[in-house]
Each structure stands twice: as C-alpha cells, then as structure tokens.
Amino acid sequence: MIISFDLDDTLIPGIKTFPTEPQTLWHKLFSREKLRSGTIRLMKALQGKGHSVYIYTTSYRSPLYIRRLFLSYGIRVNKIINKRIHDETLRERAGIISKYPPAFSIDIHIDDSPGVAMEGGRYHFKTIIIEENNTGWTDFILAHLSRQ
Ligand SMILES: [Mg+2]
C-alpha cells in the first residue's frame, strides 16, 4: 500500500503538542522542527512490510527540505507532496479540497484534521485521524492498517 502522512500537528508539533523523537546530531544541525515520538519506528516498520511512505502536506516546505528532515532521522520517505504540487496536480479542484490522496495513488492518508476525514467521506478516500493525546498512535495505525 501507499500510505501518506500529514506533517503539521500530525508528525510535527505546532498548535498541538506531543512528545518528540530524541534528536540526532545531524538533526540538531539541520532543523529546529522535530518529529513525533514513534515516527521513526513506525515508518521503518511500514517500509519493512513493503509499504511506501509518502508525506502529504498543505504547507509550502520544499520537498528537498522535507526529504532531508526525515533523512536526518534516518528515514527515507518515498515521495513528498506539498501545497505547490497539490495545486499543480489538482488545478481548479485544488481550491475546493484541501487534500485528495487518490490523485497521487495513495491508498490511505493519516492526518490530525477531522475536516480531512470529512473530505475523505465526501470524495471517497480512506483516512486515519490521530488525536493529539493518542500516545499509542503508532499501534493504532498498525492495527487499522492490518484490517485493510
Ligand atoms: Mg495537520
């Protein structure tokens, strides 16, 4: 499967807060943005099972920056979709839907936003919504995916 992750308030704390991964030296040198605790183990487990891991963000962070941020934690993300790529791909539809994973062949999208789950219901794509206080979020995702 192709599994995509939102960044802000899902994997990177912003308005929402949650524990973050221990920082490596490379990461400290590279960025002040930290990844949610459990991200490394989860992404490596998913890729180990043969899944592809994408990032799908409505931010304008460059794909190169995002690729390097994850690499600084030892994670090789398979593909990155930012707001610019979303807009270019969806064209006039980009304004009416914040995310549309099927446009990128994504099977399931993981996000913090109930609004994205509602869009999934309306436009027929699968989502997993992770709450800020879900400390067992990685097992929650793995259990959800095993039922697909
Ligand atoms: Mg978000």
- Quote the percentage of the chain above a pLDDT of 70: 100
Task: Identify the pLDDT of residue 25.
Answer: 87
State in Å: Cα 50 to ligand 1 middle.
Answer: 25
Quote the mean pLDDT of the chain: 96
Q: How far apart are CA 48 and CA 110, in angstroms?
A: 18
Structural domains present in the chain: 2-146 (3.40.50.1000)
Backbone angles phi, psi at 72, to 5 degrees: -65, -15
| Better-predicted residue by pLDDT, 54 or 93 | 54
What one-character DSSP code corresponds to residue 98?
A: S
State the distance from the centre of ligand 1 to the C-alpha of 79, rounded, in angstroms. 18
Distance CA 28, CA 24 (A): 6
Lowest mean pLDDT among 36-45, 86-95, 124-133: 86-95
- Per-residue pLDDT tens over the stretch 2-44: 999 999 999 999 999 999 999 888 888 889 999 999 999 999 9
Kindly list the protein residues that place their beta carbon closer than 5 angstroms to ligand 1, a single-atom ion: 6, 8-10, 112
Exposure of 17 by Cβ count < 10 A (0-12 exposed, 13-18 middle, 19+ buried)? exposed
| pLDDT given for residue 26 in this prediction | 84
How far, in Å, from the CA of 16 to the mean position of ligand 1?
A: 9
List C-alpha distances in Å: 124 to 79, 109, 116, 117, 118: 22, 12, 11, 10, 10
| The pair of three-digit structure tokens given for residue 1, joined into one six-digit string | 């499967």
